[in-house]
């Protein structure tokens, strides 16, 4: 496939992608969009001009909405048809390629738009599905010889997080405050976190509602998953360490999480399926699955001090995940938990076996014992004020590249 829109060979947003997002066009109005190269395409205008008129179920202009939820809720038969139509319209020699007025009205340069939150996230769950990450944390905080807790290989461990503080890439994050208890202190202290961290994650977004009492099986899960985003689950390690027993993360996590603005569909990621790591012991029946359920997605993390250079500090891959998305959703709903359109499910920190592939400062510096050396000669044990963390994700195979762009956030001093 070749598009009439020119873009570089290493663009995340090739004709093979067709992601979905929401943007402010020319500081004037908000609407749903897609991206090809560095061109942002106004889908509401294409709909008004009749480019989707023969797609049954897409009669209403859902692209005029401030989120993708209405579009996603239409279901895969319709959203896939819309994506295929957009792909056809962007091809060289298409009807749209010859429609100069529509191109002038509906196509925007990247620097003329401001990306918004792509979906309204009703509910958010964070999993803990990388065996390498769980093992590293277990070695640091518990017994190195028994790093994994007894339940870890039997179910996808997770917890319900805070949806209201999930923000789109480019949004500053305030350094959180809370209680901490240093090892040499008799009583807890209150103040800004001194061990602020990122967590390299991916997340998937649901396209349906369900009733209480319903479950979604591993077999049916893929029909319920619209697409994926990059996810940075910022973490205050010192606050978390003091508060998490017995009920788990709270102030150490709920102050902010960042997502990339483009939702990449599972259909765009189809060529990059890969086998999951072997699960031993065998899982219970409701968690069993058939076929390749993991995805080969390259991941990078960069740290940039204020007015300094970017430092590549981690290179990982989503294919390392021990528990896959279908298992996560099946476990989440096996007890009859109802779900909603736009629900977001994060993978948990993604780490590989190589120390360079660890997905958090906690692991990269081994709890601060081995500080990272930056290009400017300074060190980092954790994230400091005015540091910017950027994560990138993409898949590439046989000359086809599909990427997510990036999620970026800057830590600003507490107020």
* Cα angle 277, 404, 61; round to 5: 120
Least confident among 24-28, 133-137, 389-393: 24-28
- 341 and 257 within one domain: yes
Residue 401 has pLDDT above 90, yes or no: yes
What is the rounded average pLDDT of the residues 216-227? 98
- Asked whether the predicted pLDDT for residue 415 surpasses 90, the reply is no
- The verdict on whether residue 257 carries a ligand-binding annotation is yes
Query: How many domains does one find in the chain?
Result: 2
Q: Cβ atoms within 10 A of the Cβ of 201, count? A: 28
* pLDDT at res. 142: 86
pLDDT, tens digit, for every residue of 242-256? Answer: 999 999 999 999 999
Ligand-binding site membership of 28 (annotated): no
Query: Is residue 175 domain-shared with residue 76, that is, in the same domain?
Result: no
pLDDT tens string 97-143: 999 999 999 999 999 999 999 999 999 999 999 999 999 999 998 88
> Is 90 exceeded by the pLDDT of residue 220?
yes
Give the residue numbers annotated as catalytic, written as ranges: 133
- Is 199 marked within a binding site? yes
The domain of 61 spans 21-115
Whether 15 maps to a domain, the answer reads no
Contact 398/253 with Cβ under 8 angstroms?
no
Q: What is the pTM of this model?
A: 0.97
CATH of the domain at 111: 2.30.30.230
Residues 276 and 187 both lie in one domain? yes
pLDDT at 304: 98
Mean pLDDT over 282-288 rounds to 98
70 falls within a domain: yes
142 is in an annotated binding site: yes
- The pLDDT of 393-400, averaged and rounded, is 96
At 242, give phi and psi (nearest 5°): -80, -30
Q: pLDDT averaged over the chain?
A: 97
Q: Is the pLDDT of residue 300 over 90?
A: yes
Query: Between vectors from CA 406 to CA 166 and to CA 51, what angle results, nearest 5°?
Result: 90
The pLDDT-based confidence of 368 (bands split at 50, 70, 90) is very high
């Amino acid at each position: 496939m070749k598009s009439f829109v020119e873009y570089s060979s290493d663009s995340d947003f090739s004709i093979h992608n067709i992601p979905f997002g929401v943007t402010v066009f020319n500081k004037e109005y908000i609407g749903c969009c897609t991206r090809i190269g560095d061109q942002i395409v106004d889908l509401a205008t294409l709909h008004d001009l009749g480019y989707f008129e023969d797609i049954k179920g897409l009669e209403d202009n859902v692209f005029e909405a401030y989120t993708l939820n209405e579009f996603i809720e239409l279901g895969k038969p319709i959203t896939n048809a819309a994506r295929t139509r957009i792909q056809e319209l962007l091809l060289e020699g298409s009807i749209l390629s010859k429609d100069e007025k529509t191109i002038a009205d509906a196509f925007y340069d990247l620097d003329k738009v401001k990306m918004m939150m792509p979906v309204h996230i009703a509910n958010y769950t964070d999993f803990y599905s990388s065996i390498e990450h769980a093992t590293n944390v277990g070695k640091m905080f518990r017994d190195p010889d028994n790093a994994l807790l007894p339940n870890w290989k039997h179910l996808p461990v997770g917890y319900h997080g805070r949806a209201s503080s999930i923000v789109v890439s480019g949004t500053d994050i305030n350094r959180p405050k809370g209680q901490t208890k240093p090892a040499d202190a008799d009583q807890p202290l209150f103040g800004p976190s001194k061990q602020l961290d990122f967590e390299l994650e991916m997340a998937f977004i649901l396209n349906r509602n369900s009733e209480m009492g319903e479950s979604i099986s591993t077999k049916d899960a893929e029909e319920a998953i619209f697409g994926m985003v990059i996810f940075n689950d910022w973490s205050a390690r010192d606050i978390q360490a003091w508060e998490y027993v017995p009920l788990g993360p709270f102030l150490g996590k709920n102050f902010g999480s960042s997502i990339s603005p483009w939702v990449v569909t599972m259909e765009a990621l189809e060529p990059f399926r890969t086998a999951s790591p072997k699960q031993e012991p065998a899982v219970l029946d409701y968690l069993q699955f058939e076929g390749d359920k993991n995805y080969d997605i390259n991941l990078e993390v960069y740290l940039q001090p204020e007015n300094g250079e970017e430092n590549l500090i981690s290179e990982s891959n989503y294919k390392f995940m021990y528990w896959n998305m279908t298992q996560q959703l099946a476990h989440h709903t096996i007890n009859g938990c109802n779900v909603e359109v736009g629900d977001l499910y994060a993978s948990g920190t993604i780490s590989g076996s190589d120390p360079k592939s660890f997905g958090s400062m906690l692991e990269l510096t081994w709890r601060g014992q081995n500080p990272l050396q930056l290009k400017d000669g300074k060190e980092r044990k954790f994230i400091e004020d005015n540091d910017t963390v950027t994560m990138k994700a993409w898949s590439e195979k046989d000359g086809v590249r599909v990427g997510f762009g990036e999620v970026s956030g800057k830590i600003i001093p507490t107020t």
